[in-house]
Amino acid sequence: MGVTEGRSVPWYPQNNFQGEAAVLPGFDEKLHHAGAGTMDGVRGAGARAGASEGLGPRFRITRVYMITGLVFLGATWALLVAAAPAIAQGAWADSFPLAAIHLFVVGYALTTVHGALLQITPVAFQGRLYSIRLGYIEYVLMVLGAVAIPLGFLCRLWMITAIGGLFVLGAFALLLWNLGCTARTLKKRGEAFRSAWVFIFLLAVLILGVGMALGVPLLGRASLLLHMVAGVTGWFTTLILILSPRLIRVLVSSRHPGLERRGPELGLMAGTLLIAIGVSLVLAPGPGAGMGLWGVAGSLSVGIGWVLYLVAYGLLLFHLFQHLRYRRRRDLEWVIPWIAAGLAAGWPVTLAWGGGGVGSHGGAGVYGHDAACGFRLSRVGDCCIYGQNPAIPAVDEQVRPWARSGDSPGPEGAAGGSPGYDAAGSHRSGLVGFCWRCCFTCRGFLEWPGGVGLDRGGGRGIGVAGLRRGDVGGVPAMTARPRRICPRKLMCHKIVRFCSRFSRHPGGDPSV
């Protein structure tokens, strides 16, 4: 046993069973003994060392996904610059806007979410990841799909786009297998299974996209809009809403048990299903589509679905703020309030997205128009994504310090083994990035039909600058290696501190 500042510490490195508790804030002693982040409560020293050995590779694979997503984000910025003339003319169906949108969604958003799920699922639901090697196979398929889909749009070769969609579909099929095997070790297995239904909407998005690329739209004119609604609402927004409160519960060590109930998840599921069914009915193929009984029933289904969805969204926000209120950790890192603020700001944005869909227009609502209307609604879709997007970089900031040093947290312990949030990057950089995102959201609202009509080039310039300023600042934090403390210097420092305690005299200079 060694002594450091009057406290007994074990002689073995702290990269052990307590490593996950040290690396991930919010794991207090009660959660630790309850089995959070452990190997099913195994207490042996060998088992504890084995648990820590799996922690580093899991952080490394998350870092690989995040860096790759940022690289694709840079390529998206270049495509947006090339697509500026077409976007200014409202030609959303042009190859460059389509390539930019899909590169952002698949290359950046889906890749980052994919890597985050490998890291967050064992933490939020308390278990261990089944296979990290399988995660690298998923990574290869995701990269191939993210490259092939926009390439097919640019070359106007739809078969390449369809093949890219199949690559992404294969990657998420492997992810489902990996997380399904992981579920056997989860202590909160019921909550995990209640959250797994969001993958149904991702599956629908991929199948509809591949069908349209092959020239076989499965739902006729409804395929395009359902492709967008299922992606923005059913998958992206819902996944953030389900995972964020649970992640906050772990990070702040909350005493609030509200998420054990099934209400919010069932409300989100019922709402998204009704929205999807309503969109399909309103734009059903055949003569007289969007008219008469089917159009009225579809609009009614969409309206009820949005009401249920927004109520469930509000309940999840309530539980999130209850976790912050009844937390055991008194000190909060600066990124956690930004996660909560981003989710809270997303509620009115989601309301605008839903209100635009059910608003009366021609008797059948906005959804009653032809497929080109989907691109018009994509402006509000952008707002819906970026209204909650502050939560995404905030989670990135939460992970970055450990993602770059989690492979070998040294024996320094409190002296530097567990990195602080200052190691992730400056607070000023993150705050400026969040403000740029807010500008992008406001730009989207002002360009909504009936708004003041901001200059499109200037507005999209603000949006692109917000993307670059908010996300590219994290590249050095992700790639730079942490500053290591020499073990010999650390040992000498501890010896000097220990001996100085016996050389001090009452009333003497404490610096001696």
| pLDDT, tens digit, 9 for 90 and up, residues 445-500 | 444 443 333 334 444 444 444 444 444 444 444 444 444 555 666 666 666 666 66
Asked if 129 and 2 sit in the same domain, the reply is: no
Q: Which structural domain, as residue segments, surrounds residue 413?
A: 390-512
Residue 242: inside a domain: no
Q: Is residue 38 part of a domain?
A: yes
- Higher pLDDT pick, 327 / 423: 327
Residue at 441 is within a domain? yes
CA–CA separation, 179 vs 318, rounded Å? 28
In a domain, 272, yes or no: no
Q: How many helices (H) and strands (E) does the chain have?
A: 22, 2
> 34-48, 92-106, 136-150, 195-209: lowest mean pLDDT where?
34-48
Q: Which range, of 119-133, 339-353, 443-457, averages the lowest pLDDT?
A: 443-457
Which residues have C-beta within 8 Å of that of residue 481, sequence separation ≥ 6? 404
Q: Which tokens is 252 given?
A: 């702040």
Residue 133 shares a structural domain with residue 172? yes
Mean pLDDT over 274-285 rounds to 75
Phi-psi map region of 416: left, alpha, beta (phi>0 left; psi -120 to 50 alpha): left
Instruction: Categorize the per-residue pLDDT at 147 as very low, low, confident or very high, splitting at 50, 70 and 90.
Output: very high
Q: Which of 332, 230, 209, 217 is nearest to 273 (CA)?
A: 230
pLDDT of 331 reads 74
How many domains in the chain?
Answer: 3
244 occurs within a structural domain? no
Same domain? 79 vs 190: yes
- Are 114 and 19 within one domain? no
48 and 64 fall within a common domain: no
pLDDT score recorded for residue 356: 66
* 220-250 pLDDT tens trace: 777 888 888 888 888 888 888 888 887 787 7
66 and 11 in a common domain: no
111 assigned to some structural domain: yes
Q: What is the mean pLDDT of residues 62-76?
A: 88
Q: Take residue 411 and report the two structure tokens written for it.
A: 């024996």
pTM over 0.85: no
**Quick check: helix, strand or coil at residue 2?**
strand
pLDDT for position 238: 86
Would you call 70 exposed, middle or buried from its count of C-beta atoms within 10 A (0-12, 13-18, 19+)?
buried
Count how many residues are written for the chain: 512
Looking at residue 14, the DSSP 8-state letter turns out to be S
- Flag whether 500 is in a domain: yes
User: How far is 116 from 396, CA to CA, in rounded Å?
Assistant: 9
Closest CA to 474 of 112, 118, 141, 137: 112
Sign of CA dihedral 493, 496, 502, 508: negative
- Cβ neighbours of residue 255 closer than 8 Å, sequence gap 6 or more: 326, 327, 328
- Asked if 115 and 171 sit in the same domain, the reply is yes
Residues 130 and 16 occupy one common structural domain = no
Residue 65 and residue 192 in one domain: yes
Q: Would you call 128 helix, strand, or coil by DSSP? A: coil
Give the pLDDT band of residue 152 (cuts 50, 70, 90): very high
**Does residue 28 sit in the same domain as residue 99?**
no
d(CA 426, CA 499): 37
Whether residues 91 and 35 fall in one domain:
no
Higher pLDDT, 121 or 386: 121
Do 6 and 128 lie in one domain? The reply is no
Distance of alpha carbon 201 from alpha carbon 98, whole angstroms: 21
2, β-bridge pairs: 9
Write the pLDDT tens digit of every residue in 287-325. Answer: 444 444 566 777 788 889 989 999 999 888 888 888 888
The answer, yes or no, to whether residue 33 has pLDDT greater than 60, is no
Lowest-pLDDT range of 173-177, 280-284, 378-382: 378-382
pLDDT higher than threshold 70 for residue 258: no
Residue 142: what pLDDT?
93
Place of tokens 């200014």: 88
- What value does the mean pLDDT take over residues 379-387? 43
- Residue 478 is predicted with a pLDDT of 46
**Contact in structure between 119 and 63 (CB atoms under 8 Å):** no
Percent of the chain with pLDDT over 90: 10
CB 252 within 8 A of CB 262: no
> What does the pLDDT read at residue 489?
62
| 396 in any annotated domain | yes
Rounded distance between C-alpha atoms, residue 65 and residue 141, angstroms: 12
